[in-house]
Chain A
Amino acid sequence: MKDTLQFQQETTAANPIAYQHMARPGISKQLIEEISHYKSEPTWMLAQRLRGFSIFQKKQSPQWGGNLQDIDFDSIRYYLRPTDKRATNWDDVPADIRDTYEKIGIPEAEQKHIAGVMAQYDSEAVYHSLRERLQKQGVIFEDMDTGLKQYPELVQQYFGTVVPAGDNKFSALNTAAWSGGSFVYIPKGVQVDIPLQAYFRINAERVGQFERTLIIADEGSFVHYVEGCTAPIYTADSLHSAVVEIVVKKGARVRYTTVQNWSKNVYNLVTKRAFVYEDATMEWVDGNLGSKLTMKYPSVYLLGRGAKGDILSIAFAGTGQHQDAGAKAVHGAPDTTSSIVSKSISKESGRTSYRGLVSVPKGMTGCKSSVVCDALLLDEYSRSDTYPTMDIREAQTSVSHEASVGKIGEEQLFYFMSRGIKEREARSMIVQGFIEPIAKELPLEYVLELNRLIQLEMEGSVG
């Protein structure tokens, strides 16, 4: 951690440019050039950024999903230097977020860290022992900026190949303005036995608006990457637009777990995609609790025979929130398997949408896909929609789709209450039961926090 800070100070000192544009809102070619220069990036990366910017300018925002009209791209600050972030004042963090931290029992030091106020995380000892273990195995686990500096060829080989800049307006914006995120490489046959957590990364700049993550799992390897935190993450900026690219090579397996709980002023527009090769497995476990609007559809492109993709997602939409989440499975090789399980909960004016695509082109024989999406409405004001698209062009395919929308039943509540359990506790147990098939896939501390947060949300005392 020290190394990075020193490095940052040195680069600041060594680049006597006036960065007046970098702190200002709005994005321009000049800003992008300055970011790239400030980071001392290779020219190919600058070219990528500029190409991304030109696509961003030309492309329309998606006309489907949530309401994106209120995003004012000119008022967003696209780059904050680490020094800017450290200057953030704890008193500026909204009271409701601080309250939530208190309620879910996060210590103050950690609260500040999560809110992005503190630059340092108090676990250097844990972090160092972890690093040594990983290094011995040849695992690369860096923040993306460091990854680019230290492994430029590897980054260049894969960057933008899974999610090209032109994929959508927000992937273009991310390509232009990215900063932070993780770079992970797992060598052939290496099984990483503990989950890699983003906050163990060397860079203190943990919460980025335009994170860019690239994970390469070489043949026969395994890694579980865990991103995010269930505590609400406060950001003054209203747009979070990340890109996650994953390459799962022959026989490898990657699990990527996210639980996002952005503050409720944030547009969370994320493109996540994995290329999955022969006999490899990709598992997305995706939880969406926070944000004003989330549009996120983790995808698997099954590109080799026997490839497998599992996507599990939970969404909770409270007052004023719209979680437009789902999944995408493209069967690009025969004998590939995908499974999508989506569970959503809406409360009050909250809205959840499942949006999914399963595609089996002609000739891709022997593919199997199963989609299950269940929605739970907590009251009569909440809303849930399902937009499943099945594009099946091959007859020798087995596809199943089940969808259900339910309310917490009177009979279920009465059953619990007839055993002395209060209504509030009964409701929260039933909701926890509803998401259990996915919650059990999360690391234990996440499940505990998730359950507590859902309890808080259902009491209506937060938010």
Chain B
Amino acid sequence: MSLSVLNLRVAVEGKQILHGVSLNVAAKTVHAVMGPNGSGKSTFANAISGHPRYSITDGSVTVDGSEVASLSPDERARAGLFLSFQNPVEVAGVPVRQFLRTAYNALRRTQVDPIVFSAQLKKEMERMQFDPSFANRSLNDGFSGGERKRLEMLQLALLQPKYAILDETDSGLDVDAIKNIAHTITRAKDQGIGVLLITHYSRILRFVIPDVVHILIKGKIVQSGDASLAQQIEEHGYESFQPSNNT
């Protein structure tokens, strides 16, 4: 049971960004993908999730053994993938509650009783210390950066995917906010979700201890290792990691 990426090559508007990336995220584990700006981290997240602007030119993405690379984004989500967006988009006039319920139903291929759903949403929101009125606001419309990231985490907790790809969910947040996010991620992991944590900084990895750390530079994973790799980056930066030619 894993999210398995094999030799993934991705181009954006004709330009090759990822040059063969492989990794294997098992259920109930946390993998961190770290890299400097422009290394292809967001491309990786978006390509796996099926963003139409990122074309997979070679390689495969499988969820528990099923190939998903040719599926539409909604089909990939229904196969168990979740993407926490780096910059979640605003959608005026669509209340958070309605959006979440629609997503919940779509992922479960069911029509949950709105009252049952509301109760569950309320429980989840209380746990994450949201103001109840938050559910009635328009999706990300006028939200602060922090609120947007928290909403992504609320969705992770509520939608219960098999594998979650978190694209710089920690960026631009203060330490308390990062702690909150880390708490949600740890809980997700404990519930059996495989997490692919994409980040620039090792800060969040003080609160979520990753099982595996990958260093992504110029579209290639140059090194993989345990949590101590993150420590190394904190001390020495990305300078010491150069893409090797034999990967």
- The answer to whether residues A430 and B94 also contact, given A415-B89, A420-B103 and a CB cut-off of 8 A, is yes
Interface of B is mostly: mixed
- Contact A419 to B91, CB < 8 A, known contacts A410-B53, A414-B51: no
A-B interface contact total, Cβ < 8 Å: 84
Nearest chain A residue, comparing its CB with the CB of B53? A410
Is B169 an interface residue, CB under 8 A from the partner? no
Query: With the chains together, A409 CA to B90 CA distance in Å?
Result: 10
| B72 in complex: contacting residue of A409, A412, A423, A435, CB < 8 Å | A423
Closest residue of chain A to B46 (Cβ to Cβ) is A414
A410-B52, A422-B74, A423-B74 known; A436+B93 contact, CB < 8 A: yes
Q: Is A421 an interface residue (CB 8 A)?
A: yes
Across the interface, A417 reaches (CB within 8 A) one of B73, B92, B138, B155, namely: B73
Q: Select the residue from B91, B98, B159 with max chain A CB neighbours within 10 A.
A: B91
Residues B73-109 near A (CB distance < 8 A): 73-74, 76-78, 81-83, 85, 88-89, 91-94, 98-99, 102-103, 106-107
CB of B29 closer than 8 Å to a CB of A: no
Residues of A within 8 A of B51 (CB): 414
Please classify how large the interface on chain B is, using the bins under 10, 10 to 19, 20 to 34, 35 or more.
Answer: 20 to 34
Of A409, A422, A429, the contact of B94 (CB 8 Å cutoff): A429
Chain A 410-445 against B: per-residue CB contact (8 Å), 1 yes, 0 no? 111011111111110110011011111100000000
**Contact indicator B50/A420 (Cβ below 8 Å):** no
Whole-angstrom CA separation of A199 from B52 in the bound complex? 49
A83 → chain B closest CB, angstroms: 47
Q: A410-B53, A433-B138 known; A417 and B77 CB under 8 Å?
A: yes
* Given A410-B52, A418-B83, A421-B74: A433 in contact with B94 (beta carbons within 8 A): yes
Determine if B73 and A432 form an interchain contact, defined as CB atoms under 8 angstroms apart.
no
Q: A425, B102: Cβ atoms under 8 Å? A: yes
Interface 0/1 of B182-219, CB less than 8 Å to A: 00000000000000000000000000000000000000
Interchain CB contact (< 8 A) of A434 among B82, B89, B93, B102: B93
Q: Are A417 and B91 in contact (CB under 8 A)?
A: no
A53 CB to closest chain B CB, in angstroms?
46
A414 to B76, CA, bound (A): 12
CA distance A265 to B50 in the complex (A): 43
Q: Does B39 contact A (CB under 8 A)?
A: no
Give the nearest-CB partner of A411 in chain B.
B89
A425 vs B76: C-alpha distance in the bound complex, in angstroms? 16
- Return the contact of B91 from the options A412, A418, A423, A435 (Cβ within 8 A): A412
- CA distance in complex: A435, B138 (Å): 13
Q: A415 with B88: in contact, given A420-B74, A422-B74 (CB under 8 Å)?
A: yes
Taken together as a complex, chains A and B put the C-alpha atoms of A136 and B101 apart, in Å, by 46
Whether the pair A421, B103 counts as a contact (CB closer than 8 A) is yes
Does B49 interact with chain A (Cβ within 8 Å)? yes
Q: Can you list the 3 inter-chain pairs with the closest CB atoms, starting with the nearest?
A: A433-B93, A436-B93, A419-B103
A-B contact pairs, 10 of them (CB 8 A): A414-B51, A415-B85, A415-B89, A416-B91, A419-B103, A419-B107, A430-B91, A435-B93, A436-B92, A436-B93
Interface residues of A (CB under 8 A from B): 409-412, 414-423, 425-426, 429-430, 432-437
